[in-house]
Amino acid sequence: MKQDLIAKINQAEQQADSTNANKRVIPPLQNWQPKFCGDMNLKICANGEWWHEGSKMTRQSLVDLFAKILWCEIDENNNAHYFLKTPVEKIGIQVEDAPLHIVAVNQIQQYNQTFIKFCTANGDEFYLDKQHEIRFGLPFNNAKISADMLEKQAEQPYILVRQNGESVLYGLIVRSIFYHLVAMGELIEKNDNVYLQLISGDETFELAM
């Protein structure tokens, strides 16, 4: 029932945007099985910038297009490997931290309840729910980043943004956005620990601080 309500809200928003020809649609990457075509000199930096062959990508429309076809695979050593994936090719890229960045969070009133809604820098929009939970640190390693970055990640908040089959893409909740999130919730003490309690719809989430 809880997820049905989220689905109902998403459906209503989709219908409201049905006349928008530029509506963001994520392709069915999980259905594509292309061959690996090698690595590309493209890096998503820890600050969210995209760099190609040593130059910062400044065309946001192109970055948003590439972000739609991001794919992540986890190997047997729990290391994450990132790709750009199309129906005919899979190209390896480098990701320093999380591939997506959360740039907005708002409380939305729907059906006499308050929901917490997130937005990435590339236009992904979703609600805090059981399919999009917040955690400190990522659930896997990144074989292509430094030990210092791995240690830093353990102290940063992330949220699952998108899942296509076995691929999972997380978004970094940047510090300013996390402060807004804290203001939306309540700090509680439990078992000698401090938790941030957040309510989205009729679900309650507790994040150990």
Q: Please report the beta strands in 87-177, taking only residues with DSSP state E, as ranges in sequence order.
A: 90-95, 100-110, 113-120, 125-127, 134-136, 141-142, 157-164, 167-173
Least confident of 66-75, 134-143, 181-190: 134-143
Choose among 22, 30, 140, 135: nearest CA to 79: 140
Q: How far apart are CA 196 and CA 129, in angstroms?
A: 15
Q: Under CATH, which number does the domain 2-95 receive?
A: 3.10.540.10
164-207, pLDDT tens digit by residue? 888 999 999 999 999 999 999 999 998 888 999 999 999 999 99
**pLDDT score of 19 more than 60:** no
Q: Which one has a higher pLDDT value, 129 or 16?
A: 129
Count CB neighbours of 96 within 10 A: 19
Domain boundaries, the chain: 2-95
Q: How far apart are CA 64 and CA 86, in angstroms?
A: 15
93-104, pLDDT tens digit by residue? 999 999 999 999
- This prediction has a pTM of 0.84
Tokens of 206: 């507790």
Nearest-5° angle of CA 134, CA 135, CA 137?
A: 140
* Percentage, residues of the chain above pLDDT 70: 87
